[in-house]
Amino acid sequence: MNAKLTTTLGKLFALGALISSLSACGTIQAVQPWEKGTLARAEMTIEGSDPLESRFIEHIYTSKEAAAKGAGVGGGGCGCN
């Protein structure tokens, strides 16, 4: 009897989680025209607003991932190619 009760409670919990997650998706709204300017700022991009910092981060990434061909650069990962 205890196992059956546990299974039933688990199914009810899963159903409740599904219903709450679907109801949360129903509240998503479109971006308003006056909000698009905020989202288009350079700070909102993945690279950021500083091109020098972006280049430095890309250099570090390719140096670390070169052994696994992460950014299309060959070599052993040490940067010596």
One-letter amino acid identity for 76?
G
**Half-sphere exposure (Cβ direction) of 10: Cα atoms closer than 13 Å:** 6
Q: Within the chain, where are the H helices?
A: 2-25, 33-39, 51-65
State residue 37's pLDDT score.
84
State residue 7's pLDDT score.
84
State residue 24's pLDDT score.
75
Q: What is the mean pLDDT of each run of 10 residues along the chain (81 residues)?
A: 77 89 78 83 73 83 67 57 56
State residue 68's pLDDT score.
57
Q: What does pTM read for this prediction?
A: 0.32
For residues 64 and 57, is the Cβ–Cβ distance under 8 A? no
